[in-house]
Amino acid sequence: MRLAIFENSAISTLEPLVWVRPVFELLTGHFSTRERWLKVLQPDEWGAILRPHLLETYCESHPDAYVNDARWLAGGHTLLLNGQWLCNPTEIPEFSDESVGIVEGEIAWMVCDPLESTLLLDHHLDESLVRLAQSRKRVASPGKILRRPWDLVSFNEQQICEDHGFRQASHSEQKALPNQAFTIVGPAHALWAHESAKVDPFVVFDTTGGPIYIDRDAVIQAFTRMEGPCYVGPGTQLFRTNLRAGTSFGPMCRVGGEIENSVFQGFSNKYHDGFLGHSYVGSWVNLGAITTNSDLKNDYSNVSVPIGGTSIATGEKKVGCFLADHVKTGLGSMFNTGSAVGVMSMILPAGELLPKHIPSFTRFWHGEIEELSSIEPLLETAAIAMSRRGEEFSIAQERMLRAVWHATKPERQKALARQSSRSVETSHQNH
């Protein structure tokens, strides 16, 4: 089987989380969408269709993939999968050349003929897919489409359970059972810990609400309490953590305090006390001590989130914050309900709730958002942060971030103009 995962123009509604990675690399449950499909389908070859500014870094991190490769796409029949499609890995539909899978009105999958492949890498992928779908029978497929950042959070609890069931049904997953005694409230079989994981005494696992999965080399420190469903990724460490249901951690995170129904992409820190709820945290984020977010309004009304600076109604009562990669917060930062913070933002709190919208590559300090005059200090900080985890900040990553810096400039200018307008209005009211 040949597999290609694609992203189309609809991914802009998932900003700021998709600026530095394809949508199919966002973590939900135990895996990214790409990881899940590779485990389930085990293709002979696989590729990806993604935005040009991500091409170099993606090829660097996935050398076995055929990325935006027209010659490879023309080499045989290829199963195309929408990177925004979430599906139970135990309920995969039957893929056929004559059909197109539809989920919530969107194209979820399609088998592409080599002669049709030339249409896929032009500048109108959305139109090309619709044109190809017209020659096929539309069939309803199971699953959901990720449309907004809060979907990653609200779908996470169910996805953890589905991924856990899939892994437990795998013969290879059953070979590494825990060899130590645990304190478990609820069904013991709902807890799975890799044999390399280190769990201190005085850790409580509550599986009454769902399964708990501790991946390889994870460390769970004493006085941590975990509620399922939850997933702890490879090398992640929990320090005296009150972990509520519906939470996933990617690899190499350092986490403490209270966490509820949230996702950490990986390589991020929230070591100290403070609450984080119904939120999504990208990679290489560092949350300073007592950084806390609100995820429920005082009047219990539905929450809106600023996507690209435009307020979007979520239809949800519990929504936290969405932090893109390389965000850094200072001591005592307080995020408002339904906040969105862009790539490489630096936050120095002013003793009050932060703005709900902080654009990429800005600094918030002294109560105002500022556009940085140069990206160079941010790149230097990124290199230092990554080296602390034994990771290299490559030339390709630097070029990608510079491209995002330019692409996000209009958003910064609009945010600064709104801030200036509010300041003028306040000044007039005071006089």
**CATH number for the domain that contains residue 42:** 3.90.550.10
Q: Specify whether 71 is located in the same domain as 212.
A: no
SS3 call for 369: strand
Q: Specify whether 255 is located in the same domain as 344.
A: yes
Q: Specify whether 64 is located in the same domain as 159.
A: no
CA distance 64 to 430: 62
Q: What is the DSSP letter of 318?
A: B
Burial group, residue 140, by CB count within 10 angstroms (0-12, 13-18, 19+): exposed
* pLDDT for 175 beyond 50: no
pLDDT (0 to 100) of residue 172: 56
Beta bridge partners of 257: 241
Q: Specify whether 80 is located in the same domain as 183.
A: no
- Choice among 258-267, 325-334, 417-426 with the minimum mean pLDDT: 417-426
What is the sign, positive or negative, of the torsion defined by CA atoms of 53, 103, 170, 177?
positive
DSSP codes, 329-347: E-TT-EEPTTEEE-TT-EE
Residues of the chain above pLDDT 70, percent: 95
Q: Specify whether 161 is located in the same domain as 104.
A: no
What integer best gives the mean pLDDT of the chain? Answer: 94
pLDDT (0 to 100) of residue 177: 46
Q: Specify whether 180 is located in the same domain as 324.
A: yes
pLDDT (0 to 100) of residue 387: 95
- Choice among 52-61, 114-123, 135-144, 224-233 with the minimum mean pLDDT: 114-123
Q: Specify whether 93 is located in the same domain as 226.
A: no
Task: List, for residues 332-384, the tens digit of each pLDDT value.
Answer: 999 999 999 999 999 998 788 999 999 999 999 988 999 988 999 999 999 99
pLDDT (0 to 100) of residue 150: 98
What is the sign, positive or negative, of the torsion defined by CA atoms of 275, 18, 28, 25?
negative
SS3 call for 375: coil
Helix-strand-coil split of the chain, %, nearest 5: 30, 30, 40
Among 147, 170, 190, where does a domain finish? 147
Q: Specify whether 105 is located in the same domain as 233.
A: no
Q: Could you tell me the CATH number of the domain that includes residue 316? A: 2.160.10.10
* pLDDT for 176 beyond 50: no
Among 147, 163, 183, where does a domain finish? 147
Amino acid (1-letter code) at residue 393: F
Q: Specify whether 306 is located in the same domain as 221.
A: yes
Task: List, for residues 194-243, the tens digit of each pLDDT value.
Answer: 999 999 999 999 999 999 999 999 999 999 999 999 999 999 999 999 99
CA distance 327 to 285: 5
Q: Specify whether 316 is located in the same domain as 375.
A: yes
- Across the range 14-26, mean pLDDT stands at 98
The whole domain housing 291 covers 151-429
Task: Give residue 67's pLDDT band: very low, low, confident or very high (50, 70, 90).
Answer: very high
Q: Are strands 45-49 and 254-260 parallel, antiparallel or unpaired?
A: unpaired
* pLDDT for 174 beyond 60: no
Distances (CA, A) of 342 to 285, 338, 351: 11, 13, 21
Q: Specify whether 307 is located in the same domain as 256.
A: yes
In the block, tokens 């069939």 appear at: 139
Which run of H or of E encompasses 104?
none
* pLDDT for 426 beyond 70: no
Taking alpha carbons only, the member of 430, 405, 423, 426 closest to residue 369 is 423
Q: Where are the beta strands (DSSP E) in 235-349?
A: 237-243, 247-249, 254-260, 263-266, 269-270, 275-277, 280-283, 286-287, 292-293, 304-307, 310-313, 321-323, 328-329, 334-335, 339-341, 346-347
Among 90, 120, 147, where does a domain finish? 147
CA distance 94 to 92: 7
pLDDT (0 to 100) of residue 121: 79
What is the domain count for the chain? 2
Asked whether the beta carbons of 392 and 386 are under 8 A apart, the reply is yes
CA angle 132, 136, 139 (to 5 degrees): 120
Q: Specify whether 142 is located in the same domain as 259.
A: no
SS3 call for 106: strand
- Across the range 115-127, mean pLDDT stands at 83
